[in-house]
């Protein structure tokens, strides 16, 4: 995370989540936690579509649409399967890396 950045920790943890404050304090970051809300969803979708949000590293499992139940089972057992984000269907394009000329949010 860049200095002055914002980290939103959303979702449900199956165990402890360690934040290394000894490394974060000097960066002057803001950390928020809570349930998922959709306030930032339009912005995040625009950033992903523009290639400004590298989503590829978040995808841990991909399934064809006719394996939807298997995908739900894998995601539902994330602690055992290591699932972070599960994608259904065929990707339409490769994830575009973040370009240093684009400002980050």
- Give the model's pLDDT for residue 28: 92
| Average of per-residue pLDDT values in the chain | 80
According to DSSP, residue 75 is labeled H
Tokens of 61: 């499992």
User: What's the rounded Cα separation, in Å, for the pair 89 and 65?
Assistant: 5
- Give the model's pLDDT for residue 63: 92
Nearest to 4 by CA among 97, 99, 98, 105: 105
For the chain, the domains span 1-37, 53-91+98-105
Tell me the pLDDT tens digit for each residue of 73-89.
999 998 899 898 898 88
Tokens of 23: 């490394």
Confidence check: pLDDT of 57 > 90? no
Spell out the alpha helix ranges (H) of 3-54.
21-24, 41-49
């Amino acid at each position: 995370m860049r200095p002055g950045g914002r980290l939103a920790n959303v979702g449900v943890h199956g165990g402890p989540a360690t934040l290394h404050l000894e490394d974060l304090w000097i960066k002057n970051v803001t950390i928020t936690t809570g349930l998922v809300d959709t306030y930032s969803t339009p912005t995040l979708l625009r950033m992903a579509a523009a290639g400004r949000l590298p989503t590829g590293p978040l995808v841990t499992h991909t399934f064809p649409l006719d394996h939807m139940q298997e995908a739900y089972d894998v995601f539902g057992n994330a602690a055992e399967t290591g699932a972070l984000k599960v994608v259904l269907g065929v990707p339409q394009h490769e994830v575009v890396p973040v370009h240093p000329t684009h400002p980050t949010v």
